Structure 1
Amino acid sequence: MLEFAWDAGVFTASDAMSATSLTRSTTIDAIDTLVEARVLRELPNARDAGEYRAGRPARRFELPADLGLVAGLDAGDSHLSLTVADLAGRAILHRRVEIDPAHSIPQRQEAVLHLLESAVAETDVPRDALLALCVGVAAPVNRDGHSPPHPEGFWERTNAGLVDLLADRARVVEVKNDAQLAATAEGTTGGAVDCRDYVALLAGERLGAGVVIDGHLLHGMHGGVGEMFAFDYVRGVDSAFGLGTIIEQRARAMIAAGEAAPDGALAALRPGEIDARHVLALAADGDPDASSIARVAGESLARIVGVLGSMFDPERVIVCGAIADGVEPVLEAARAALGPHLHLPAPSLVRSRLGADIVTQGAVLRALDSARHVALPRLAEERLRGAAARV
């Protein structure tokens, strides 16, 4: 009944009976039980709502959108981005803060707790109203929410024991790889709706891939499907750095070596302005130096897509994250260079339309799924047990 009510909006017992194939008496018993548990809300009947025409007015019910909240958190290396949403998926609060990548594990934990506590306090609802919380991190994550050790400690610092730290902050707490959450967002509301085979490629500072094949999001024993360390060994890529890093490094090198035209737009950039966004904007405007940087990045991306295409045979590769807004000059260069890097038909290469907060969006979607299938049934059972104990 909860599964039906989640998507039904306002419904009657007859609506529920038709959708669930339950008998009328079983349907009414289930509805009354959930109303008693304060998980379903009974609304004014059809006569009181002004919809009555003839016969006995039907009772009407709904799953209240304000029954609880969910939260999605992108715990990036240099930022925290949090969205709190109601059960209809409507964002009611969004906060983003910058953090120091050099923060220790305790400092990162403190920053996460402060952001979450202050945001939930702003919603003016009880703390136990948070039904599900999902956190995205730039690390492989196993099914228990923990990351394996990294040779330089990066994964442990990024995923700073978050599943344990936040265990009492919601009824369901999950930690997931950020690229896998980006793939969830693309498949639900983005460029991969109705696509069964695609890769969501986070390509800003570092590379990460969420891989969906035959409609299934691939995970692996340690959550490592889509980890990009292997590109350290791919000629012409040579690292897991993302397109943003490649573009910025190449721009700085050209300016330092005097390779940029002295009277050109690239050479005129001040040191603080040399970032991927500015360089890509110049490339889109046709600046020769910036265009050459976009071609270099595109050739690197073509090799990346060639490897992903050979390994997973996707229909589509979607470049995601903040870099996506201006990445079209890089994609054009990558499409032109892709042919020699694949024997299979090349996947289409497109940019995401979901913006810089794609990981947060994916985390909210995952939290909604957890609220629907885990937290709400638990809540109903707890309230019914409490009512029985009082009797």
Structure 2
Amino acid sequence: MDDLDGDEGQAVPAARRASVDAVLQWAWDAGDFTSNDAMPATGLTRSTTIEAVDELIDLGLLRELPNAREAGAYRKGRPARRFELRADAGVVVGLDAGRLHLTAIVADLRGTVLGVTKKESDEASVSEHDDYPDAARRRRRLIQTTIDRALRAAGRERAEVLAVCVGVPAPVDGMGRSPGHRTGFWTRMNPDLRELLAEWAPIVRVENDASLAAVAEGATGAARDHLDYVAVLAGERIGAGVVIDGRLLRGAHGGVGESVAFDHVEGIEGAYGIGYRIAEWARASIEAGDLPAGHPLAGQGDGSDAVDGVDAVDAKTVLRLAQSGDAWAQTLTDRAGALLARLVGFYGTFYDPSLVVISGAVSGSLEPVVAAARRRVAEELDLPAPEILASSLGADVVAIGATMAAVEAVRAGVLALPRLPAAIASERPEAVNS
């Protein structure tokens, strides 16, 4: 975008942007601060630091706080001016736009959650046989309405949004586009969403859902202390977000971490997720009459854990039984552990991570599976085996990652916007005089 100069609320010209951005990045991670605090961290002179601070106040991205005397910290001499990021200057939206569910998070500019909206609907499911224009219209409408519902629930509106990040179950390149697919599924999941949302949102980022799980795990999850790791979404389908040397990998078409190769890997045979496999094996075992007498899934005993119908058996039920010591369920989790070890061996061989995190809705119950995988993984590769951990971020991991990615996008791009949103300019507070 071109830099504009002169009118209030327009972007910072390129010649001044470096110093202003240095102070803004410092402010984003700091609490309240003085120019003396910012100078050594940014490497700027005192006068340049003060000029940058004042410019950020004019833009509405910083606010000046009561000075040290008014705050009760004044001792002697001229009280220092104090500042902080205006985290409430705008909001970001992170959206997990899955095939069968959508979760939208609205947060302030530090990522503090202001509201969460979830929607599960048949409208979210798109069949490969659907007419593409009709499916795209339904998908686009559903995403827009989910975002609007989340904003209303948080008491905010579109004019206050600085960035939107959407995670989709498809490869996504650096421009937010998904490639074609044999069935057209990828473009159905990402029907030009970046262009759609850019009609009203200043900054838009579209990413693969597993990549956003990796963003979340690296920021607040199990991978916080790792530069080389893989986050595996292990629910209905397997997908992986890959971070190497601290950088999220995509590839030419966004295909890094795609799972179609598992169709040809002995011991994995497909991209079905860990949760899906456990449920599938459990149902097959029940139908084959393999349950021991009196087992709760046979509907016997006291009935407290009975399941009505084989189709009602899911992975969480089996995992809960395994954790309680149920021998039948433990055979299934041990089998899942062998599959997970093979999966981790695959990622370990190709990416050489120090850690593989198992993320998604069932991750909180996967410790028996992870434990079984740890016992086997060294046999699956020649390189040192990566550590395997179950995520603590749960079903919202993609939405959490999308929110964090939206904050990152604002930090990187807000000063380059041709014009800041009207909400920031109109609500810009007057600086407090020292």
TM-score normalized with structure 1 length? 0.93
Q: Distance in 2 between matches of 1:266 and 1:210?
A: 35
SS in 1 for 2:297: coil
Q: 1:145-224 alignment to 2 at 5 Å?
A: 145-224=176-255
* Cα shift readout 1:59-83 (whole Å, capped 9, x = no counterpart): 2222111111111100111100111
| Equivalent position to 2:41, from 12, 16, 19 | 19
Are 1:304 and 2:343 an aligned pair? yes
Unaligned runs of 5+ in 2: 1-22, 128-134, 300-306, 427-434
Q: Contact conserved, 2:126 with 2:188, CA < 8 A, in 1?
A: no
| Equivalent position to 2:258, from 206, 210, 227 | 227
Q: Distance in 2 between matches of 1:92 and 1:321?
A: 22
Opposite residue 117 of structure 1, the aligned amino acid is D
1:380 Cα offset (Å): 7.2
Q: Distance in 1 between matches of 2:419 and 2:44?
A: 20
1:247 Cα offset (Å): 0.9
Q: Contact conserved, 1:39 with 1:380, CA < 8 A, in 2?
A: no
Residue 326 of structure 1 corresponds to which residue in structure 2? 365
Q: Distance in 1 between matches of 2:40 and 2:388?
A: 43
Unaligned runs of 5+ in 1: none
Q: Contact conserved, 1:132 with 1:375, CA < 8 A, in 2?
A: no
1:332 Cα offset (Å): 2.2
Q: Contact conserved, 2:115 with 2:154, CA < 8 A, in 1?
A: yes
Residue 100 of structure 2 corresponds to which residue in structure 1? 78
Q: Distance in 2 between matches of 1:380 and 1:40?
A: 17
Opposite residue 86 of structure 2, the aligned amino acid is P
Opposite residue 316 of structure 1, the aligned amino acid is L
Q: 1:1-391 alignment to 2 at 5 Å?
A: 1-100=23-122, 101-102=125-126, 104-268=135-299, 269-271=307-309, 273-378=312-417
1:253 Cα offset (Å): 0.9
Q: Contact conserved, 1:74 with 1:81, CA < 8 A, in 2?
A: yes
Q: Contact conserved, 2:60 with 2:86, CA < 8 A, in 1?
A: no
Residue 432 of structure 2 corresponds to which residue in structure 1? none
Opposite residue 43 of structure 2, the aligned amino acid is S
SS in 2 for 1:366: helix
Q: Distance in 2 between matches of 1:381 and 1:93?
A: 23
1:120 Cα offset (Å): 1.4
Q: Distance in 1 between matches of 2:59 and 2:227?
A: 39
SS in 2 for 1:322: coil
SS in 2 for 1:152: coil
Q: Contact conserved, 2:360 with 2:397, CA < 8 A, in 1?
A: yes
| % identity of equivalent residues | 49
Q: Contact conserved, 1:266 with 1:289, CA < 8 A, in 2?
A: no
Q: Distance in 2 between matches of 1:115 and 1:264?
A: 42
Higher relative contact order (CA 8 A, sep 6+): 2
* Cα shift readout 1:256-302 (whole Å, capped 9, x = no counterpart): 12122242123332235311100111111122221121122122112
> Alignment RMSD, CA only?
2.0
Q: Distance in 2 between matches of 1:16 and 1:329?
A: 48
Opposite residue 345 of structure 2, the aligned amino acid is G
1:126 Cα offset (Å): 4.3
Q: Distance in 1 between matches of 2:349 and 2:57?
A: 53
Residue 15 of structure 2 corresponds to which residue in structure 1? none
